[in-house]
């Protein structure tokens, strides 16, 4: 009797515990600044998620910077405004530090090297744009490249994610079927 009750309640308890953990984590991430800071740093240490995060942040930053540069806004002010587009406080602070370096007279490329979260290609292209005096045109090229790169990575990632979801659902169905069939066999064998 206890075994049947345990088999019946165990999957529900596991799901309930996971929901509580995820809900608590989301609540802390939204309401606690220290937890949010740790999560923002932690995102860039995870292998697959860091790749996507770097691409998305670089794309957002370069798009905003490109629009502002084409509008005729000075580079320092454009970088300051573009940094606000990024929803990651950890990267925002690094961009602000790089912008302070630019204000002190350092080159844009050297200053952006502080930000490890930007890909090396982006930094190199920014250096080329600064040296050639055509930063606005280079930013358009960077935008096109990173949009294509994000689309390609997301397409590949979606294919892998579909396979992982199918495997996960198969495991859940298998565990559920086994947890239902085992008590029935025990009941039949006890007769």
Query: pLDDT digit string (tens) for 39-76?
Result: 888 888 888 888 888 999 999 999 999 999 898 888 88
pLDDT digits (tens, 9 = 90+) for 4-25: 777 777 788 888 999 999 998 8
Q: What is the pTM of this model?
A: 0.71
Question: Does residue 119 sit in helix, strand or coil?
Answer: coil
The answer to whether 142 and 148 have CB atoms below 8 angstroms apart is no
**Does residue 186 or residue 170 have the better pLDDT?**
170
The model's pLDDT over 37-47, given as tens digits with 9 standing for 90+, comes to: 888 888 888 88
CA distance 177 to 33: 43
Residue 53: which residues within 8 A CB-CB, separation 6 or more?
Answer: 43, 44, 88, 117
Instruction: Tell me the torsion sign for CA atoms 169, 172, 174, 176.
Output: negative
Dihedral (Cα; 54, 55, 58, 64), 10-degree rounding: -140
Q: Please choose, from the candidates 64, 35, 191, the residue with its C-alpha nearest in 3D space to the C-alpha of residue 136.
A: 64
């Amino acid at each position: 009797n206890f075994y049947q009750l345990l088999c019946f309640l165990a999957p529900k308890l596991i799901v309930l515990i996971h929901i509580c953990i995820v809900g608590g984590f989301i609540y802390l991430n939204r309401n606690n600044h220290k937890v949010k800071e740790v999560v923002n740093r932690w995102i860039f240490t995870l292998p697959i998620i860091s790749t996507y995060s770097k691409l998305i942040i670089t794309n957002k930053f370069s798009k905003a910077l490109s629009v502002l540069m084409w509008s005729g806004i000075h580079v320092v002010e454009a970088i300051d405004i573009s940094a606000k587009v990024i929803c990651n406080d950890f990267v925002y602070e690094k961009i602000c530090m790089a912008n302070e370096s630019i204000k002190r007279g350092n080159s844009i490329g050297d200053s952006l090297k502080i930000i490890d979260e930007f890909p090396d290609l982006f930094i190199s292209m920014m250096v080329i744009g600064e040296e050639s005096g055509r930063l606005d045109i280079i930013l358009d090229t960077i935008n096109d490249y990173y949009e294509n790169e994000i689309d390609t990575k997301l397409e590949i990632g979606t294919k892998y994610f579909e396979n992982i979801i199918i495997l996960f659902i198969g495991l859940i169905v298998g565990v559920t079927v086994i947890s239902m069939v085992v008590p029935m066999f025990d009941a039949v064998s006890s007769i």
